[in-house]
Amino acid sequence: MELKRVVVTGLGALTPIGNTLDAYWNALLNGTSGAANITHFDPERFKTRFACEVKNFNATDFLDRKEARKMDRFTHFAMVAAEEGVKDAGLDTPGTCDPDRTGVIWGSGIGGLDTFLQESKNYTAGDGTPRFNPFFIPKMIADISPGHISIKYGFRGPNFTTVSACASATNALIDAMTYIRLGKADVIISGGSEAAITEAGIGGFNAMHALSVRNDNPEKASRPFCKDRDGFVMGEGGACIVLEEYEHAKKRGAKIYAEIVGFGLSADASHITAPHPEGLGASRVMINALDDAQLTPADIDYINVHGTSTPLGDIAETKAIKTVFGEHAYNLNISSTKSMTGHLLGAAGAVEAIASILAVKNDIVPPTINHETEDPDIDNKLNFTFHKAQKRTVNAALSNTFGFGGHNASVIFKKAE
């Protein structure tokens, strides 16, 4: 069976460093940090008191107040990012696509964490009578965002959420790509959203010693590959990537950002939260992505790494890159945009895929910020694109995401021929 080609025709972003696609991209190129003191709740008693929150966002600026009350914050993010992506792709005009062959496949690692927390608080503060909001369950469940998006636009194609921790949105892109490749859909609205900056989210990751505790200087807390990195910075937001069958896009005259040409999947099979120390799962997922794309290591110009700023993770991923790319590793640009956005958990793959897509489209690589001291356990001869964006021809870019449970997912984008 001949697989169909899949291209990117629309993008939308709502992030800690920009509430639109253009604002996000410009902030990336300028090396802007989204980290600041937490405002969603009083963090005074927590080990970590900062995060990368979405700023100046009011859901009712975009959604009917009554409808917004039926949604958790992670779905608010999904709706806003999807609206920008759908408009950007030119799919907001009736008749542009067949609703029966247009789907929504979204990613979220946690879903409505704040809804669950607030409803639990209300119950325990009461007299024991089980009084719950009738929208408790549909606000909380991780699969609800693509449901809301499909209802808004009438898209009746494949519709579900992928859940694989921090690889969730990348898995959503992979599933979307696969359905289109196989001819099961013409267009799929994909991406991811997450809103875990809550007492439970911060407290839970603090208990694991996963978060940075650099409370005196939040903007510099996310510092991938730096010797004194001490954990990741929680982020929130959403991103939308519209994938479309190439001939369908060409026939309707859609603009094409890039082509998605390959994916990889693997498992570490090692530890529930820590990466394999030698990066075996990370190596395998990149090899699988190259094989699927029918590309060689030398064809890749840029890797948007998982790069969380954790002591073990950054070392393991660097080892994996050297294993897979050999001497070509020194010709690559590598960057961790989490140094600016923080870690958006289940939405990270979508936000970072957009950075990779726009690097391909614009021939410029966003930086890794906040690097101060070389880590002797990391090969600092590699080009981590420290401090400033770098212009170069980017014919193909690979985006990595790795999740708790050992879930690894990678996608490759290249210039559309």
Catalytic center residues: 166, 306, 343
Nearest to 257 by CA among 150, 82, 161, 394: 394
Q: What's the distance, CA 319 to chain centroid?
A: 22
Q: What is the rounded CA–CA span in Å between residue 82 and residue 78? A: 6
What is the number of alpha carbons within 13 Å of residue 415 lying toward its C-beta? Answer: 13
The residues near 19 (Cβ < 8 Å, ≥ 6 apart) are 13, 54, 55, 56, 57
How do beta strands 302-304 and 36-37 pair?
unpaired
Nearest to 329 by CA among 289, 286, 382, 280: 382
* Residues 194, 197, 203, 207, CA torsion sign: positive
Nearest to 362 by CA among 301, 280, 278, 311: 301
The residue type found at 247 is E
CB 382 within 8 A of CB 330: yes
DSSP class per residue in 44-113: TTSS--EEB---S--GGGTS-HHHHTTS-HHHHHHHHHHHHHHHHHT-SSTTSS-GGGEEEEEE-SS-SH
First to last CA, the chain: 22
